[in-house]
């Protein structure tokens, strides 16, 4: 059993790493997408909405399979882990993008009017008004998507990325010891997801006490 | 060859897969909804233990990836002597997982129902079951419609995961076709387009239903 | 002084402003009254180009704002940096949600001077504290909006507008969303500004207050200013039947 647990732990580490890459990459990608989403160029806005439609309408598994099989066909040869990271970035990036976009849209119109009437230059508007407010509005949803990232990493097992789910499956196929192994793997995921969720809530709570979100705590 | 030719040749396989996808999505959604209602009832009327059990159930299933229950049931039931088909195993897993999310959705919606209404039912002397059936449940469902629509679409997309336990839905068909025709990604591209289509259609259908039900 | 000529504005099919004219003399206070939807708020917002108007001219101290008129009669919108400069000469206060919720009162007030007018942090801080003291909130300098009452928030908003040293203050129903007991403190601040000689254009339903502080009251109807004059003339001796009906309803 201990060797099983050790293997599962290693798998969990890989899952965590993948989720981390997906979250960071996804956030960066989402910021880029938001530039397109709010661009004055209609074509860019159209591209944003089209991309979101595709990324959210196609199941993650199918996206993963597409990228996994399509890249070699175009001569791009990358290992499963890199492919997995790429898939996650594209998929989770779309989710973060919608979260951020929702945050920007949540800013009351009079605040936009106020920044305009004060004659604030665009850089200052972004830095002093938009970014702080969007951060405050979107923190809960952001944490939600982070948890989702960990769960999404399990799908990558199907394109032979070795992580916790694949590790568990391999052990089960070898030893037929289904329940203990699967339950153990579930525990690992549960601890990871639950911790991130709790941590997020804790951070939210602490920041609310300082008037972080501009609402009564 | 062009995609149209390709689709014409392999269309039937995809249609079989589509039928399977829609079939599973439908009965799994229904099952998840019913289980969600049952769990909500348990949480409301089951005292401390009931609420604790439901709370625990929801927390566990929301924090694990959906592949694990799928594997657990598919590989695990035979060890208990239950040899059910892959579709049934997958469906059960989807039901259990989605019921957790639906129960959470209901929890939020119940809070939205004005407290005053429950004072009214108590003063009218209505039994808890009648209250639930006539007052809570209808409003619950109406308030939850947008979130339920969202969840149903997620379930529809999750059916693709059943391909890992050899359920012959769209993704599985695409995998088989990929091996058979040695085409790189064409099969999955068509599958992707199919999913986009049924997701869009489902959303439309839901919105039409929503508009007719709301604020009658 | 402000000169507005022939302002027209349509939202799609609906024409809201149908050639409005208005003059505000140096140091004058003008109040716009009228039924909901008559265009008074739109007119106010056009003055600061928070709404783009389709036709017309707005001049401040003789200089044309927002657009240049070309020789062939067509007009061209000025560049963003120029528009930003022009906006700094006006201050506007809205009905609600004026303040940035993530900043203290002082930070709200100093934001404009520091980042638009490039005044040093120390200077703008000092100035900000003075202004907040002027509106009676010296002790709330480090408070966040959620810690302030509606009336206090509106006073901070006024201070923030004043921090830009504007030529004119535009006030869009600033007491309409307040609980009755909080209205007085805001009206007091406006009263205290009368001696400054700053031009003011108000939109309000508080007729009593308007009568007290205005040099002129303008009745906006059907997208135009149909009657304008000293408060006594417009409120007590009006000719326009729709205006008489409107005033009757308010009592």
Q: Could you tell me the domains of chain A? A: 2-208 (1.10.3720.10)
Mean pLDDT on A88-100: 97
pLDDT at residue number A171? 94
Question: Would the pLDDT of C3 be above 90?
Answer: yes
Q: What is the DSSP secondary structure assignment for residue A176, as one 8-state letter?
A: -
Provide, rounded to the nearest whole percent, the portion of chain C with pLDDT above 90.
Answer: 65
Residue C68 predicted with pLDDT over 90: no
Measured between CB atoms, does A77 come within 8 Å of chain B? Answer: no
pLDDT at A212: 57
Number of domains in chain B: 1
Q: Out of A80-89, A196-205, C208-217, C232-241, which region has the weakest mean confidence (pLDDT)?
A: C232-241
Chains that touch A (3 or more CB pairs under 8 A): B, C
β-strands C199-203, C29-33 pairing: parallel
**Binding partners of B (≥3 Cβ pairs within 8 A):** A
CA-based nearest distance A191→chain B, Å: 8
Q: Is the pLDDT of residue B116 over 80?
A: no
- Mutation pick from C65, C77, C86, C98 vs chain A, by most beta carbons of A within 10 Å, is C98
SS3 assignment, position B216: coil
Is C9 in a helix, a strand, or coil? strand
Tell me which residues of chain B, numbers 155 to 174, contact chain A at a CB-CB cutoff of 8 Å: 157-161, 163-164, 171, 174
**Residue C98 to residue A114, Cβ atoms within 8 A:** yes
Nearest to A214 among C88, C91, C145 (CB): C145
Interchain contact C129–A (C-beta under 8 A)? no
pLDDT at position A216 over 70: no
Bridge partner residues of C168 (DSSP): C90, C199
List the domains of chain C with CATH numbers.
1-89+172-251 (3.40.50.300), 97-165 (no CATH)
- The one-character DSSP state at C215 is S
Q: Would you place residue A210 in the very low, low, confident or very high pLDDT band (cuts 50, 70, 90)?
A: low
Report the pLDDT value the prediction gives residue B98, as an integer from 0 to 100: 96
- pLDDT average, residue stretch B167-176: 91
Contacts of C185 (CB under 8 A, 6+ apart): C136, C151, C152, C155
Q: Are C109 and C158 in contact (CB under 8 A)?
A: no
pLDDT digits (tens, 9 = 90+) for B126-140: 887 787 788 888 888
A148 touches B at CB < 8 Å: no
Q: Does residue B189 contact residue B3 with C-beta atoms inside 8 Å?
A: yes
Count of CB pairs separated by less than 8 Å, A with B: 109
Q: What integer pLDDT is reported at residue B3 of this predicted model? A: 65
Q: Is the Cβ pair A62, B174 closer than 8 Å?
A: yes
Q: What pLDDT, on the 0 to 100 scale, is given for residue A213?
A: 55
> B1 falls in which pLDDT band (50, 70, 90)?
low
pLDDT per residue as tens digits for the range B179-191:
888 777 888 998 9
Domain that residue B52 falls in = 3-213
CB-based contact A214 C94, cutoff 8 Å: no
CB of B176 within 8 Å of any CB in chain A? no
Percentage, residues of chain A above pLDDT 90? 79
C108 in Cβ contact with C160 (< 8 Å): yes
Choice among B131-135, C49-53, C141-145 with the minimum mean pLDDT? B131-135
Given a cut of 50, whether residue A217 has pLDDT beyond it is no
Per cent of chain C over pLDDT 70 is: 99
Sheet holding C199-203, edge to edge: C90-93, C168-172, C199-203, C29-33, C216-221, C224-229
The rounded mean pLDDT for chain B is 89
pLDDT score of A93: 97
Q: Tell me the range of B53-57, B164-168, C12-16, C73-77 where mean pLDDT is highest.
A: B53-57
CATH value at residue B91 = 1.10.3720.10
Report the DSSP beta bridge partners of residue C11. C14
CA distance B16 to A100: 39
User: Would you give the DSSP letter of residue C79?
Assistant: P
Residue B70: pLDDT band (50, 70, 90) is: very high
Of A110, A119, A132, the CB nearest to C102: A132
ipTM score for this prediction: 0.88
Question: Which percentage of chain B shows pLDDT scores above 90?
Answer: 57
Alpha carbon distance C94, B154 (integer Å)? 42
Mean confidence (pLDDT) of chain C: 91
- What is the pLDDT averaged over residues C145-150? 92
pLDDT at position B177: 87
Residue B205 three-state SS: helix
């Amino acid at each position: 059993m201990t060797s099983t647990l050790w293997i599962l732990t290693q798998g969990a580490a890989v899952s965590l790493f993948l989720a981390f890459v997906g979250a960071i990459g996804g956030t960066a990608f989402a910021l880029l997408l938001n530039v397109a989403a709010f661009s004055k160029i209609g074509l860019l806005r159209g591209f944003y909405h089209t991309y979101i439609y595709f990324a959210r309408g196609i199941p993650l598994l199918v996206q993963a399979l597409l990228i996994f099989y399509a890249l070699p066909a175009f001569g791009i040869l990358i290992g499963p882990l890199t492919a997995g990271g790429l898939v996650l970035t594209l998929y989770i990036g779309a989710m973060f993008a919608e979260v951020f976009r929702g945050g920007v849209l949540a800013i009351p119109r009079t605040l936009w009017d106020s920044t305009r009437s004060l004659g604030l230059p665009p850089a200052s508007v972004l830095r002093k008004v938009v970014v702080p407010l969007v951060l405050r509005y979107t923190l809960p949803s952001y944490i939600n998507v982070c948890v989702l990232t960990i769960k999404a990493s399990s799908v990558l097992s199907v394109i032979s990325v070795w992580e916790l789910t694949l590790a568990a499956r391999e052990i089960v196929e070898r030893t037929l010891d289904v329940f203990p192994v699967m339950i153990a793997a579930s525990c690992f995921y549960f601890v990871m997801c639950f911790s991130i969720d709790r941590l997020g809530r804790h951070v939210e709570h602490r920041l609310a006490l300082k008037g972080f979100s501009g609402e009564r705590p | 060859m062009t995609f149209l030719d390709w689709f014409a040749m392999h269309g039937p396989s995809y249609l079989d897969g589509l039928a399977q996808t829609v079939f599973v999505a439908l009965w799994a959604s229904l099952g998840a909804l019913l289980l969600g209602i049952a769990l909500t009832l348990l949480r409301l009327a089951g005292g401390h233990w009931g609420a604790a059990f439901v709370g625990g159930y929801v927390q566990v299933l929301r924090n694990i990836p959906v592949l694990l229950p799928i594997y657990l049931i598919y590989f695990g039931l035979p060890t208990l002597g239950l040899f059910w088909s892959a579709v049934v195993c997958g469906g059960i897993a989807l039901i259990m997982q989605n019921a957790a999310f639906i129960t959470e959705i209901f929890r939020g919606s119940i809070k939205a129902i004005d407290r005053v209404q429950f004072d009214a039912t108590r003063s009218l002397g209505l039994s808890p079951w009648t209250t639930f059936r006539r007052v809570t449940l209808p409003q619950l469902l109406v308030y939850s419609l947008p979130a339920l629509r969202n969840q149903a679409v997620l379930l529809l997309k999750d059916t693709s995961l059943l391909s890992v336990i050899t359920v012959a839905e769209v993704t599985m068909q695409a995998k088989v076709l990929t091996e058979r025709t040695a085409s790189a990604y064409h099969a999955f591209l068509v599958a992707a387009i199919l999913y986009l289509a049924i997701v869009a259609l489902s959303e439309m259908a839901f919105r039409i239903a929503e508009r007719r039900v709301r604020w009658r | 002084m402000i000169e507005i000529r022939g302002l027209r504005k349509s939202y799609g099919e609906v024409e809201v402003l149908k050639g409005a004219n208005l003059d505000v003399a140096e140091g004058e206070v003008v109040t716009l009254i009228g039924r909901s939807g008559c265009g008074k708020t739109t007119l106010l917002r056009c003055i600061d180009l928070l709404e783009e108007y389709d036709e017309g001219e707005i001049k401040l101290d003789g200089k044309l704002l927002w657009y240049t008129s070309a020789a062939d009669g067509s007009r061209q919108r000025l560049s963003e940096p120029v528009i930003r400069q022009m906006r700094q000469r006006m201050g506007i206060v809205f009905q609600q949600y004026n303040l940035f919720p993530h900043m203290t009162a002082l930070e709200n007030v100093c934001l404009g001077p520091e980042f638009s007018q490039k005044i040093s942090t120390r200077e703008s801080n000092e100035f900000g504290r003075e202004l907040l003291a002027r509106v009676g909130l010296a002790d709330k300098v480090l408070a966040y909006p959620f810690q302030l009452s509606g009336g206090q928030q509106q006073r901070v908003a006024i201070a923030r507008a004043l921090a830009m040293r504007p030529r004119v203050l535009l006030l869009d129903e600033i007491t309409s969303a307040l609980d009755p007991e909080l209205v007085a403190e805001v009206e007091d601040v406006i009263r205290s500004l009368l001696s400054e000689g700053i031009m003011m254009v108000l939109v309000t339903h508080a007729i009593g207050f308007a009568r007290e502080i205005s040099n002129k009251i303008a009745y906006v109807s059907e997208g135009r200013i149909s009657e304008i004059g000293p408060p006594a003339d417009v409120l007590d001796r009006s000719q326009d039947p729709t205006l008489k009906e409107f005033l009757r309803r308010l009592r």
